[in-house]
Amino acid sequence: MSETTGETTRRRRGGGRSGNTRRSSGVAISQLPWQIPEILDSPTEPLSAEGLAAVDDGAMRILEEIGIDFLHEDAKMHLKAAGADVDPDSSRVRFDRALVREMADKAPSQFTITPRNPERAVPIGGRNQVYINVSSPPNCSDLDRGRRPGTRESFRDLVKLSQYFNCIHMVGGYPVEPVDIHPSVRHLDCIRDKLVLCDKVMHAYSLGTERVEDAMEMIRIAGGLSHAEFDAKPRMYTNINSTSPLIHDWPMLDGAMRLAKRGQMVTITPFTLAGAMAPVTLAGAIAQQTAEALAAIVLLQQINPGTPVVMGSFTSNVDMKSGAPAFGTPEYMRATQMSGQMARLYGLPLRASNACAANCPDAQAAWESAFSLWACTSGRANMVYHAAGWLEGGLCASYEKFVMDCETLQQMIAYNQPIGTTEDDIAVEAIAEGNIARHFFGIQHTQDRYETAFYSPFLSDWRNYESWEEAGAVQTPERANKIWKAILEEFEAPPLDAAILEELDAFVARRKAEGGAPTDF
Amino acid sequence: MSETTGETTRRRRGGGRSGNTRRSSGVAISQLPWQIPEILDSPTEPLSAEGLAAVDDGAMRILEEIGIDFLHEDAKMHLKAAGADVDPDSSRVRFDRALVREMADKAPSQFTITPRNPERAVPIGGRNQVYINVSSPPNCSDLDRGRRPGTRESFRDLVKLSQYFNCIHMVGGYPVEPVDIHPSVRHLDCIRDKLVLCDKVMHAYSLGTERVEDAMEMIRIAGGLSHAEFDAKPRMYTNINSTSPLIHDWPMLDGAMRLAKRGQMVTITPFTLAGAMAPVTLAGAIAQQTAEALAAIVLLQQINPGTPVVMGSFTSNVDMKSGAPAFGTPEYMRATQMSGQMARLYGLPLRASNACAANCPDAQAAWESAFSLWACTSGRANMVYHAAGWLEGGLCASYEKFVMDCETLQQMIAYNQPIGTTEDDIAVEAIAEGNIARHFFGIQHTQDRYETAFYSPFLSDWRNYESWEEAGAVQTPERANKIWKAILEEFEAPPLDAAILEELDAFVARRKAEGGAPTDF
């Protein structure tokens, strides 16, 4: 807690509507306390033992017979040292299956990432499931201002929502891309904003050496850590995507290797849309996804054995009429659950997403997201990316959808509470009493428990039709609209030591003066 | 098929917009063919073996120590004959647990109901899951005409939708209550309409002797069956609700007993809203639900051993602020899954519902329904009541919600298809080919499969934002609105032999002349 003892809370700067100079007397919503859900249910496993073995064998044949392209010389060097079959005349690397399993075994099946506020540390793996806000859309939308490209203001708004909601456990990449900040310095401003507005686990994009190194340095500074302390345990994470089929590109590999060297977490998420970048058959797409992920895991375990890595699943289907990706589909659900089986086979945590293809926060968005969330929970995904705010297959971050998703995330947390079956829970005496009273509202057994017995939603409207209509027949997105405004109005940034903030700002200023990260435009 | 060989198709009578005199050249939607989904996944079981035994023990203690009130003298007589402890001075009946299990064992764990079109026979139990349209709301709504009390016209519209959609396997009670038909003859007009417009398995309300007997007779006539043929196997079903806590009322018992005598199916669904008519604890509510259901099952097995019965689950929580029932909640999901465990313990099929509390077909309606449907599937419910069209906790049947629910039901059917893991599915050669081509759209493996590889929704809009916006930014309910209109426009009633229709109409005329069913108003 040493980094927060200064108590000099730094608030939002640079205008905006609320000013945030006073603590709002109202409270936007009554939300669940911070907690990490544990999935107690057995996972849903669409693959039989034979099916699982067949997909594993397929993945291994891809690695052995076809191989994966690594577009990074250092990566090839490390893979050669690991014992992989590296083609000196191309980027192709082939892997013996024994090597793959040996290297995957070095990765931990469970670990903890600790952000600048250690009370927001998150366990990754096992039965734990953590939720991460939407990342990387170029656009954002809300009911008042419509759809528009992201800016620093909307970026900060969405970071604040991510900090506010206890059901968001980690902050992902940029919740919207702030195109009003030049790409050379965007990462500096964005990571600074995130570190000031948010005390949860941070992500860094693997988009070139400078950005990754700057991100690690800023997260180290914000945590008040020495370099040795930073390196001692996971403090942050990145996500890399393969360029499916079967390629790992330079920037992603470079970032992943830099994090691995310092013991930081890497998710490897192949972009295996079935029918487009992977076979049209789900088993084939998952075999390819598995092969692409494991190839990178071999590399990272060779660089730093024990590096925390997560197997990412993003496999879905495309609309075969248009080629557009679809999410929250039956195929997406099954692919996610199959990915869970693969991850558990290799003893790795699983990442999936709360994704949808809908263009607005309507019923389609809700059922696609609910089905995605179902897939994550029944497939026992340990990390749920894009858990709140995602629309349009990831091209838009919706303020209202963010609030709606947090409602369903809370419901998922409530769903994963264990069911009591003590004599008190079975309540035969209470039933005898209720039988005489003809209802249970007033009996002691109810009175003792009713305040906490059931999950209480903040967004659902459970009034009868007449009351709902009389109050204006307000639909879900309009209710969510009121809530995000109230949250932003009352938002207060978490405490950050003034000296740390000064150091952070000095770093940003220096790196800006140096020109930030090189850009090719 | 003898009952349909006449081929004299009787169409809708009495006005309406479409007239239905020609076959529409267009097709409203491309839907999945008729099929009964089989739930291949292991069910989700929130209760441990010990927890399950504790809830079972609780149910048995309720039956042994407290007992159930049977407000029907014949029922008491039958229960006394079965060996139950019948209080001569009250309606209370207590049951020894050995008797309960012995009688429950007489009920089949799986059976088939055969409607007038034997091609629409449905298997109940095992891994089968069947979907039934919304039943019994007093109101209906659509985007054009708003919310209004049900009429015969809206009743018929919703029956037509139930017949049209292949994912609706059985027709439930009245999809909306047609209040413009006098209650004394409402059942005659309604069952006639249903039998003419629909060839799927029919439901009869247990609302008094005459209505039940008329329903059985009309379904017998429509099937072209002798009395012996009707009695020989399940042809129809009813649903009875206990008056929780712990009462079975006269009309429901009377109807159930009449169906049981003729070997017809009965679902027993206690109305155990936790915190109101049952304990506030889920385990207590499920113990009570189980006891209430089993008590009636003892009765029906005593009357006719082997009568097909289904254990109904309707347990949900109430909003403890208002007392209003809530559906699609975390508690509803768990209650449904726990009910599945109880039903399987006693070897009985399970009924649950696709329910929600939302007041309009918006995102809340969609996530509550998706969560309910998830509960039904993960809990392995064999019958999903109210699967399409339900809003407002059952007080309104929405035309648009009906279409939206059928979209998600189709997705559930697609979800339950087995996953192929042959060498062809794993597709290592296709991956090698795709690796060279850099995408999979054009390769032979994709070309051979793309038309059927993925489920294709009829309601989801997967276009990109720009195309969607250019086309009017049409949201889900508005798209559903267009679809139900197209369906009603092109609707054709299934074939019905002219002689059978004549007999049916003569029966209705005679019973109307006799005054129909007595009413107390």
Ramachandran angles phi, psi of A239, nearest 5°: -125, 130
Torsion of CA B66, B67, B68, B72, to 10 degrees: -130
**B459 near B32, Cβ under 8 Å?**
no
- Residue B320 is predicted with a pLDDT of 80
For residues A340 and A292, give the distance between their C-alpha atoms in angstroms, rounded to a whole number: 16
CA distance A366 to chain B (A): 5
Q: Is B326 part of the contact surface with chain A (CB cutoff 8 Å)?
A: yes
**A273 near A319, Cβ under 8 Å?**
no
Q: Which of A64, A91, A317, A364 to mutate to test the interface with B (most CBs of B within 10 A)?
A: A364
Nearest to A58 among B42, B280, B428 (CB): B428
Tens digits of residue pLDDT in A292-308: 999 999 999 999 999 99
Q: Which of B32, B69, B342, B359 to mutate to test the interface with A (most CBs of A within 10 A)?
A: B359
Q: State the pairing for strand pair A390-391/A396-398.
A: antiparallel
- Residue B16 is predicted with a pLDDT of 34
Tens digits of residue pLDDT in A50-63: 999 999 999 999 99
Mean pLDDT of the B277-295 span: 98
Tens digits of residue pLDDT in A409-431: 999 999 999 999 999 999 999 99
- Residue A21 is predicted with a pLDDT of 37
More confident residue, B10 or A355: A355
Q: Is B272 part of the contact surface with chain A (CB cutoff 8 Å)?
A: no
**B396 near B141, Cβ under 8 Å?**
yes
Task: Give me the residues of B, 82-111, that contact A with CB < 8 A.
Answer: none
Tens digits of residue pLDDT in B366-422: 999 999 999 999 999 999 999 999 999 999 999 999 999 999 999 999 999 999 999
In whole angstroms, how far apart are CA A287 and each of A338, A374, B112, B279? Answer: 10, 22, 40, 48
Tens digits of residue pLDDT in A122-178: 999 999 999 999 999 999 999 999 999 999 999 999 999 999 999 999 999 999 999
Q: Which of A39, A140, A354, A435 to mutate to test the interface with B (most CBs of B within 10 A)?
A: A435
For residues A118 and B367, give the distance between their C-alpha atoms in angstroms, rounded to a whole number: 34
Residue A1 has pLDDT above 60, yes or no: no
For residues B423 and B421, give the distance between their C-alpha atoms in angstroms, rounded to a whole number: 7
Q: In A, which residues are within 8 Å of B440 by CB distance?
A: 245, 275-280
- Residue A230 is predicted with a pLDDT of 98
Which residues, in sequence order, are CB contacts of A146 under 8 Å at separation 6+?
Answer: none
Interchain pair B453, A274: CB under 8 A: yes
Task: Give me the residues of B, 22-41, that contact A with CB < 8 A.
Answer: 40-41
Q: In B, which residues are within 8 Å of A54 by CB distance?
A: 421-423, 426
CA distance B48 to chain A (A): 9
Nearest to B378 among A378, A417, A462 (CB): A378
- Residue A13 is predicted with a pLDDT of 32
Confidence label for A520 from pLDDT (cuts 50, 70 and 90):
low
- Residue A320 is predicted with a pLDDT of 80
Residue A16 Rama label (left phi>0; alpha psi -120 to 50; beta): left
Q: In A, which residues are within 8 Å of B415 by CB distance?
A: 330, 333-334
Nearest to A434 among B279, B392, B395 (CB): B279
Residue A267 has pLDDT above 70, yes or no: yes
Which DSSP string do the residues of B424-445 spell out, in sequence order?
HHH-HHHHHHHHHHSSSSSSHH
Interchain pair B427, A44: CB under 8 A: no
Q: Is A438 part of the contact surface with chain B (CB cutoff 8 Å)?
A: yes
Interchain pair A358, B460: CB under 8 A: yes
Tens digits of residue pLDDT in B143-201: 999 999 999 999 999 999 999 999 999 999 999 999 999 999 999 999 999 999 999 99
Nearest to A55 among B278, B392, B421 (CB): B421
**A133 near A163, Cβ under 8 Å?**
no
- Residue A321 is predicted with a pLDDT of 82
Residue B22 has pLDDT above 80, yes or no: no
Ramachandran angles phi, psi of A111, nearest 5°: -160, 175
User: Considering only CA atoms, which of A106, A64, A103 is closest in space to residue A85?
Assistant: A64
Task: Give me the residues of B, 44-63, that contact A with CB < 8 A.
Answer: 44-48, 50-51, 54-55, 57-58, 61-62
Q: Is B77 part of the contact surface with chain A (CB cutoff 8 Å)?
A: no
Interchain pair B363, A477: CB under 8 A: yes
Tens digits of residue pLDDT in A365-397: 999 999 999 999 999 999 999 999 999 999 999
| DSSP symbol at B109 | S
Nearest to B450 among A55, A280, A364 (CB): A280
Tens digits of residue pLDDT in A434-469: 999 999 999 999 999 999 999 999 999 999 999 999
Q: In B, which residues are within 8 Å of A365 by CB distance?
A: 363, 366
Strand order in the sheet with A146-149: A146-149, A139-142, A396-398, A390-391
Task: Give me the residues of B, 331-390, that contact A with CB < 8 A.
Answer: 331, 333-334, 338, 357-371, 374, 378
Burial of B436 (0-12, 13-18, 19+ CB in 10 A): exposed
Q: In B, which residues are within 8 Å of A276 by CB distance?
A: 439-441
How many residues comprise chain B? 521
- Residue B275 is predicted with a pLDDT of 95
- Please list the residues that pair with A384 across neighbouring strands: A131, A352
Interchain pair A463, B432: CB under 8 A: no
Residue A4 has pLDDT above 60, yes or no: no
- Residue A469 is predicted with a pLDDT of 97
- Any alpha helices (H) in A86-205, and if so which ranges? 97-104, 152-164, 183-197
- Residue A16 is predicted with a pLDDT of 34
List the single residue in B with minimal CA-CA distance to A356. Answer: B462
Which DSSP string do the residues of B26-55 spell out, in sequence order?
S-S---PPS---B--SPPP--S-HHHHHHH
- Residue B17 is predicted with a pLDDT of 34
For residues A296 and A290, give the distance between their C-alpha atoms in angstroms, rounded to a whole number: 10
Sequence-separated contacts (24+) of A468-471 with Cβ below 8 Å: A468/B359, A469/B359
Residue A18 has pLDDT above 80, yes or no: no
Calculate ∠ Cα B247-B248-B250, nearest 5°: 130
For residues A366 and B371, give the distance between their C-alpha atoms in angstroms, rounded to a whole number: 10
Residue A394 Rama label (left phi>0; alpha psi -120 to 50; beta): left
As separate numbers, helices (DSSP H) first and strands (DSSP E) second, chain A gives 19, 17
Nearest to B279 among A323, A440, A459 (CB): A440
Mean residue pLDDT of chain B comes to 94
Task: Give me the residues of B, 205-234, that contact A with CB < 8 A.
Answer: none
Q: In B, which residues are within 8 Å of A423 by CB distance?
A: 54
Half-sphere exposure of A297 (CA within 13 A, CB side): 34
For the four alpha carbons of A391, A392, A394 and A396, in that order, the dihedral sign comes to: negative
- Residue B322 is predicted with a pLDDT of 85
Mean pLDDT of the B230-253 span: 97
Interchain pair B462, A322: CB under 8 A: yes
CA distance A79 to chain B (A): 21
CA distance A55 to chain B (A): 6
CA distance A370 to chain B (A): 6
**A483 near A458, Cβ under 8 Å?**
yes
Tens digits of residue pLDDT in A187-199: 999 999 999 999 9
Strand order in the sheet with B247-248: B85-86, B92-94, B68-70, B247-248
Residue B433 has pLDDT above 90, yes or no: yes
In percent, the amount of chain A with pLDDT more than 70 equals 95
In whole angstroms, how far apart are CA B156 and each of A190, A442, B179? Answer: 58, 43, 13
List the single residue in A with minimal CA-CA distance to B45. Answer: A41
Interchain pair B324, A66: CB under 8 A: no
B190 is written with which tokens?
């309604």
CA distance A332 to chain B (A): 9
Task: Give me the residues of B, 121-140, that contact A with CB < 8 A.
Answer: 139
Residue A68 has pLDDT above 50, yes or no: yes
CA distance A316 to chain B (A): 10
For residues A238 and A267, give the distance between their C-alpha atoms in angstroms, rounded to a whole number: 6
Residue A15 has pLDDT above 70, yes or no: no
Q: Which residues of A118-151 are buried (b: 16+ CB within 10 A; e: fewer)?
A: eebbbbbbebbbbbbbbbbbebbbbbeeebeebb
- Residue A19 is predicted with a pLDDT of 34
Residue B296 has pLDDT above 90, yes or no: yes
Torsion of CA B168, B170, B172, B176, to 10 degrees: 40
In B178-320, DSSP assigns E strands to 202-203, 236-240, 247-248, 265-268, 309-312
Interchain pair A396, B465: CB under 8 A: yes
Confidence label for A521 from pLDDT (cuts 50, 70 and 90):
low
CA distance A519 to chain B (A): 27
pTM of the model: 0.94
For residues B322 and B357, give the distance between their C-alpha atoms in angstroms, rounded to a whole number: 13
- Residue B408 is predicted with a pLDDT of 98
- Residue A25 is predicted with a pLDDT of 47
Mean pLDDT of the B44-53 span: 98
